[in-house]
Amino acid sequence: MTPLDRLTLSGIGLYRRLLSPCKGFRCAHAALHGGESCSAAVARIVREDGLSGGRARIAARFGECRAAHRLLRGGSPLALGTDGPRVRGVCCCGPIPIPFRCG
């Protein structure tokens, strides 16, 4: 594990301890599909492949989370109602997790 990998995991740990509780602990992907949140998934990917080696998997996960966010906010014909259901704690609407609001 490289120093950058360790720094990344430390940053994710700080995010999960300090910011995630303020926004509801769940990203859109986890809210829609269940399973692990983006922060947990990225931490696992970094541990498995390293930050550099896992770049494509991390980008794919954030892309899936953006798609889940659009679905939950009404950007799909599958969403309920005109605006879709209200979701608290969505963290990923771009390539970087956003801690407090999305969309």
The total of structural domains in the chain comes to: 1
For residues 65 and 27, give the distance between their C-alpha atoms in angstroms, rounded to a whole number: 7
- Within a domain: 52: yes
Count of positions (residues) in the chain:
103
Could you tell me if residue 62 is inside a domain?
yes
Q: What is the pLDDT of residues 45-89, one digit of tens each?
A: 999 999 999 999 999 999 999 999 888 887 655 544 444 444 444
Whether the pTM exceeds 0.75: the reply is no
Give me the pLDDT at residue 102, please. 40
Domain assignment present for residue 11? The answer is yes
Q: Which two tokens stand for residue 84?
A: 């879709």
Cα–Cα distance for residue pair 44/80, rounded to 1 Å: 33
pLDDT > 70 fraction of the chain, expressed in percent and rounded: 70
For residue 33, give its domain range.
3-72
Residue 96 sits at φ, ψ, to 5 deg, of -125, 135
State how far the Cα of 29 lies from the Cα of 65, in Å rounded to an integer.
5
